[in-house]
Amino acid sequence: MALTQKSRKFLEDLHIYLLSSGKNLNEIKEITTELEDHLIEAEANGKSIDQIVGDSPSAYMESISGEMKPDLASWAKYFPLVLLGPIAFTIFGDLLDNGVLAYSLFNIIGIIVYTLLFIMGVSIVFKYTSRKQTSVTKEIIILSLPIIVSMLFYLLVLFLDTMIDTPIVNFGEIGSIVLGSVIFILIIAFSIWSKTIIIPVVLLALFLPDILLKETALSESSKLIIGMFITYSLIGLYLFYIFAKEKKKQQGSE
């Protein structure tokens, strides 16, 4: 017996809410499975989900969440992705361009604040959207808010950086190579540990065109266009691969 759309959405929202509240994945599975079992039997007997979760799904999710201990260890898994991504992007970009890394203190502090803003914003929004029963489009719009805000913040930092004088931290040639290698090893370690190659794929998509086109005799504008084409194609291919994999997994479980 298949569940109604509304019940399935509720279970998915609960799953995301508990996950973004930092609960243990096994415990989340346990309670969502138990509720799924309940909903299947209730719907088979002609009851609606409102009779099960009450008037406020959001209050109900909170009461479930309140009985579960936070599982910081497994939630922390996603932090390196947000932290490593932008840092790796900046550092590899500058290594390719200059070979030596040097940043103003203002810029370094800016990156740290940007990272914190991003993490906080995304987790607040995730909690908000999963507790309210909103449509997918609305969820995507709301979710993009903290991402846009934190990016604007970082652009502001980059802009102000040209105007404000703070000491420059110069890493030197050896320091730059060491820092680059450390980030590289961290990315490899994170990819193996989290079982996702998103960071290497995005970095490759962004920097491969530069490396490939650097020595060609093409004009700057054609380099730019071809470069963008390669970047979008690589990311597109990766997303296509992920979606195909997800779809296969879903069909397999039905």
Partner 1 sequence: MSQTQMMKGIIDGCLLAIIDGNECYGYEMAERLGDYGFDAVSEGTIYPLLMRMQREGLVTSVRRASTAGPQRKYYSLTKEGKQALAEFILRWQQLEKSVNAVLKKEME
CB-based contact 147:122 (threshold 8 Å): yes
Separation between Cα atoms, residue 180 and residue 251, nearest integer Å: 41
Q: How far is the CB of 75 from partner 1 (least distance, A)?
A: 19
User: Residue 241: how many CA atoms within 13 Å on its side-chain side?
Assistant: 10
46 binds partner 1 (CB under 8 A): no
SS3 240: helix
41 binds partner 1 (CB under 8 A): yes
The residue within the footprint of partner 1, chosen from 12, 34, 165, 173 (CB under 8 A), is 34
Separation between Cα atoms, residue 109 and residue 45, nearest integer Å: 59
The one segment of 30-38, 74-82, 115-123, 141-149 that binds partner 1 by CB under 8 A: 30-38
With CB under 8 A, what is the number of residues at the site for partner 1?
A: 25
Q: How far is the CB of 13 from partner 1 (least distance, A)?
A: 14
66 binds partner 1 (CB under 8 A): yes
The residue within the footprint of partner 1, chosen from 4, 63, 170, 216 (CB under 8 A), is 63
How many angstroms separate the first and last alpha carbons of the chain?
Answer: 12
151 binds partner 1 (CB under 8 A): no
The DSSP-derived string for 91-113 is HHHHHHHTSSEEEEHHHHHHHHH
Question: φ, ψ for residue 103 (rounded to 5)?
Answer: -130, 150
Judged by CB, which is closer to partner 1: 69, or 195?
Answer: 69
**Residues that bind partner 1 in the complex, under the rule CB under 8 A:** 1, 30-31, 33-38, 40-42, 47, 50-55, 60, 63-64, 66-68
